[in-house]
Amino acid sequence: MSEQEKKIIFSGIQPTGTFTLGNYIGAVSRWGELQDQFNCIYSIVDMHAITVRQDPVQLRQKSLEAYALLFACGIDPKKSITFIQSHAGTHAELSWILSCSTQFGELSRMTQFKDKSAKHADDINAGLFTYPVLMAADILAYNADLVPIGEDQRQHLELARNIAQRFNGKYGEFFTVPEAYIPKVGARIKSLQDPEKKMSKSDENPNACVFILDEPDVIIRKFKRAVTDSDSEIRYAEEKPGVSNLMSIYSAVTGKEIPEIEREFEGKGYGDFKLAVGEAVSDRLKPVREEFARLMADKAYLKECYMEGAKSALSISRRTLTKVYRKVGFVDAR
């Protein structure tokens, strides 16, 4: 398939700390696998990150680490455009235009906005409110066909589709209406301590969330402490959210199907199962940890990559923006 015929993929991740196992299974681990089949564009979305208060020194460090982690998780900068969002000012410019095709009411309905405003009640800033418009700009700037994300981003993607359609309705067909690309298994990895909640880096209980750079003994300890259910059967079922979550994780990191896992652990107890999941996760993440350490020791290489990534991202998104400016009726400055 020629480069032109390949579909376009866009996705992003916030640099607000080491990626969680949820980020990894639901999104990032799959991004590398898509590189040959699609034209992929991936971004560290630092502009989204400042919708909640960040320490500037830490944000800079975390952004660089997150960028290196993408490569450690399998993204190849020669195959995918990999850049830091704030290096492409076009996203913010497009976001403004798109905000004029977004309704106050639809932004008010976003569950992430409601959750985050409850959590940061002293700082419900306008950026937090318009966050999904910037996300739509990220995607639409590249006319992405598919957006690989976890289940929690589905509502934002729906909004991006609505914004694209509304813009096309007003100004004539222009934006590709993107589709969510959500995995069948692992799209919503749950907290290890409360399987009703998603695994999240902001969880107060340190045992609830596994980070992909956790040391093997820490990973295994967190899995040993994971909450299961009252019976002792290793079976995937709605009424067994704890065990089902662990099975999804095991399936995602080993590639084994759920029925195969049920057979593997037939007659065995939760202790054996939890240890096996912890070991499988730790083994899977070993090369990620090693590659991350190697990359962080080579800042010059990382810089070369993100400068190159920014150039490519800007060249595509600038072209889109120029056309958008013309469509909405701005006077041509070129």
SS3 8: strand
Distance between CA 260 and CA 266 in Å, rounded? 10
Considering the complex, state which of residue 87 and residue 188 has its C-beta at the smaller distance from ligand TYM: 188
Binding test (CB under 6 A) with ligand TYM, winner from 8, 9, 27, 277: 27
Q: Does 74 bind ligand TYM (CB under 6 A)?
A: no
Is 78 a residue of the active site?
no
Considering the complex, state which of residue 147 and residue 220 has its C-beta at the smaller distance from ligand TYM: 147
Is 222 a residue of the active site?
no
Q: Does 48 bind ligand TYM (CB under 6 A)?
A: yes
Is 224 a residue of the active site?
no
Closest CA to 51 of 14, 21, 87: 14
- Catalytic residue chosen out of the listed positions 62, 116, 222, 274: 116
With CB atoms as reference, the residue minimizing the distance to ligand TYM is 26
Q: Does 139 bind ligand TYM (CB under 6 A)?
A: yes
Contact 258, 249 (CB under 8 A): no
Q: Does 133 bind ligand TYM (CB under 6 A)?
A: no
Contact 178, 153 (CB under 8 A): no
For residue 172, count CB atoms less than 10 angstroms from its CB and return exposed for 0-12, middle for 13-18, buried for 19 or more.
Answer: exposed
Distance between CA 67 and CA 92 in Å, rounded? 20
Strand partners, 42: 11, 82
Q: Does 90 bind ligand TYM (CB under 6 A)?
A: no
Contact 291, 301 (CB under 8 A): no
Considering the complex, state which of residue 32 and residue 150 has its C-beta at the smaller distance from ligand TYM: 150
Q: Which amino acids are annotated catalytic?
A: 116, 198, 201
Residues that bind ligand TYM (CB under 6 A): 10-14, 22-23, 26-27, 45, 48, 135, 138-139, 147, 149-150, 152-153, 156, 187-189, 198-199
